[in-house]
Amino acid sequence: MDRDEDLGERQQRFQREEMRTALRALLMTPLMDAAHEDFAAVRRHADGLREWFARETGWVLHVERDGARLYKRPADLTDATRGMPGYDRRRYALLCLACAVLERADPQITLRLLGERLLDLAADPALAALGFTFTLGARQERRELVVVCRTLLALGVLQHVAGDEEAFVLAAGTEGHADALYDVHRRTLAGMLAAVRGPSSWSKAEAPTSIMERLRALADEPAADSDEGRRVTMRHHVARRLLDDPVVYSERLATEVRAYFLNQRGAMASRLSEASGLVAEQRAEGLALVDESGLLTDLAMPAEGTDAHVTLLTADYLATRQRQARAAGGDAAPSAAVREQDIAEFLRDVRERYGRYWRKSARTPGAERELAAIAVERLEKLQLVERLADFVHPLPALARFALGDVDVQAMPR
């Protein structure tokens, strides 16, 4: 009997751990194809995962034989630090146009044909009126198309069959034999847009015009006009921020949401941490769910490499200023804010001590300006600093990255 009970406990523990693994995988890869290493676990726990996401976040989960889609929607549509690396508005426009081409394409398509059909869509007068142009004549534009294709390959929308994208980039003009062939996975393509309402459903007269109006219209979710409905909406909003944002500062929440957050954050942190394996850090200024493994993030800190090292040094520099400003106390406490130029000068000063650990280009005179910009951008994405006017302001969570005295030791040969 004891052995049976022990076996049952182990099975239950295994199932809890596997569901946690599946949940974490969906948070990191919301558009998941069947080749993903954790997809089998997602399928086995599909019912429990659907129920959990619907209850805690309001996100919808679809799981089918050949893939899964968690329709994550950000709680803060104004967060400009989100997005895929290297993507600006132009590249996102190309990605959308490529998806429009693939939606009408055969099960297989070549890179060259995709580019030619994209040219037709890019010639739309409405895009031209906004200053958007695209041709395949320039090498840089062919490279942009290849970058978009590689994004679609990584997402599982396309699968490489044959050919060489780099040869296509180097080819002169649109003629020639340099090309690549792809399979188009329509089910994955259909899950690309995580909108509540598709943009094609608006008539021309009612279509929103500004960027923010369009984002809100795409993500606007119906909610019951009742006390319970408002509580559910607030719970979903806070849970989305805790799972999707590096840190939640209570002062940045709307008044009603802040009151709910301060009252419920202990219970919410416990539930979300138990399901996701994240560790709750509660402070007076807010709450963060931290992944101690460093895997459940697209921007880890600390991490390896020159950019990560420079970011950590900058964090310590700003955190020290922050601590000194607090120690001064009172209304006349000095500001901890600095200019980006001040950060560049700090990195120039520490280059002699740490530069031998940096890449060669980062050790050249003048490189400190680029390094400072990189560090500030990374810290801003982690919600550890914010830029206001021409100054960089440290935020409360930055204090956890203060290094103190550092003992630099050479690596053994």
Contact 245/75 with Cβ under 8 angstroms? Answer: yes
Three-state SS at 31 = strand
Three-state SS at 79 = coil
Average pLDDT, the chain: 89
> Is the per-residue pLDDT at 90 higher than 60?
yes
pLDDT per position as a tens digit, 122-167: 999 989 988 999 998 889 999 999 999 999 999 999 999 999 999 9
Three-state SS at 205 = coil
SS (H, E, C) 182-225: EEECHHHHHCCCCCCCCHHHCCCCCCCCCHHHHHHHHHCCCCCC
Band of the pLDDT at 196, cuts 50, 70, 90? Answer: confident
Contact 194/71 with Cβ under 8 angstroms? Answer: yes
Q: How many CB atoms lie within 10 A of CB 252?
A: 16
Tokens for 211?
A: 């960027």
> Is the per-residue pLDDT at 407 higher than 80?
no
In the prediction, which pLDDT does 394 show? 93
Block residue for tokens 């558009």: 31
Band of the pLDDT at 175, cuts 50, 70, 90? Answer: low
Contact 61/71 with Cβ under 8 angstroms? Answer: yes
The CA distance from 68 to 39, in Å, is 8
In the prediction, which pLDDT does 413 show? 45
pLDDT per position as a tens digit, 371-392: 999 999 999 999 999 998 889 9
Tokens for 401?
A: 């990255």
User: What is the Cα gyration radius of the chain?
Assistant: 25
In the prediction, which pLDDT does 332 show? 47
pLDDT per position as a tens digit, 249-300: 999 999 999 999 999 999 999 999 999 999 999 988 999 999 988 888 888 8
> Is the per-residue pLDDT at 328 higher than 80?
no
Three-state SS at 398 = helix
Pairwise pLDDT comparison (338 vs 176), residue with the higher score: 338
Tokens for 40?
A: 């089998």
Contacting residues for 79 by C-beta, under 8 A, at least 6 apart = 245
pTM: 0.86
The CA distance from 391 to 400, in Å, is 21
> Is the per-residue pLDDT at 230 higher than 80?
yes
What number is the average pLDDT over the span 216-232? Answer: 89
